[in-house]
Amino acid sequence: MKLVIFGPPSAGKGTQAQRLSQKYGIPQIATGDLLREHVAKKTPIGLKVKEILDAGKLGPDDLIVQIIKDRVSQPDCANGYLLDGFPRTMNQAKELEKITDIDLVLNIGVDTELLVERAVGRRICPKDASVYHILNNPPNAPGKCDKCGTQLIQRDDDKEETVRKRLKVYQDQTAPLVEYYRKKGKLMDIDGSLGIDGVFEQMIRAISRIKA
């Protein structure tokens, strides 16, 4: 099963992708996470994309497509995978078609102001990547990771100005892909305002329809 999870920044793609990956036993491939890993390790790719990420802009298509090609050719992807954050441009969608046939695109829709609130309140643990929210999912001790006690941080691209820029980039470059996949009959709309469990249940229902 090959799935794509779509949605504006902070729509909850990562959270849902993690759950789907566990439920269906397929790896989650998050281009944002892969790029952030490169940045953290200061690899040549990381040095090239750090400023792009911090500015909330999109990385170059050829580089992103190569990262995806390398990743999906690994053995754990043999039974399928879940793409989170890819494709993000029409060019990437066309390149993806050359690599494989996608079964379903899950499109999470959420109101813009709610997205800003979610992103700006998000805090992550730099050590184990746990995700919190200062209002909706606060850690037990303020500012500290529940699992390892590490001081939580805010991602640079979760600062409000950058979040709004990322939303604009999404509207301009990625939103057109929604109609592209809808016309192909591969898209299922998911109401992203329903909370984590409600969103997950809608996704499971959509997937069971393609598996039936």
Q: Under the rule (CB under 6 A), what is the footprint of ligand AMP? A: 9, 31-32, 35, 52-53, 56-59, 64, 85-86, 88, 92, 157, 166
Distance CA(193)–CA(125), nearest Å, equals 25
Indicate if 36 belongs to the active site.
Answer: no
Distance of CA 38 to the CA centre of its chain: 16
Query: Which structure tokens are listed for 95?
Result: 């390149």
The smaller minimum CB distance to ligand AMP, of residues 54 and 146, is found at: 54
The smaller minimum CB distance to ligand AMP, of residues 94 and 209, is found at: 94
Distance CA(50)–CA(53), nearest Å, equals 5
Q: Catalytic one among 13, 36, 71, 123?
A: 13
CB of 90 to ligand AMP, least distance (A): 12
Indicate if 122 belongs to the active site.
Answer: yes
Whether the link from the prior residue into 87 is cis, omega within 30° of 0, is yes
CB 37 within 8 A of CB 45: no
CB of 179 to ligand AMP, least distance (A): 18
CA 80 to each of CA 29, 68, 147, 168, 170: distance values in angstroms, whole numbers, following the listed order = 11, 13, 31, 31, 26
User: Within a 10 A sphere around the Cβ of 18, how many other Cβ atoms?
Assistant: 15
Q: Catalytic one among 71, 88, 118, 123?
A: 88
CB of 56 to ligand AMP, least distance (A): 5
CB of 172 to ligand AMP, least distance (A): 13
The smaller minimum CB distance to ligand AMP, of residues 38 and 152, is found at: 38
Q: Catalytic one among 36, 71, 118, 122?
A: 122
Residue with tokens 């050719």: 73
Residue closest to ligand AMP when measured from CB atoms: 32
Q: Give the active site residues.
A: 13, 88, 122, 155, 166
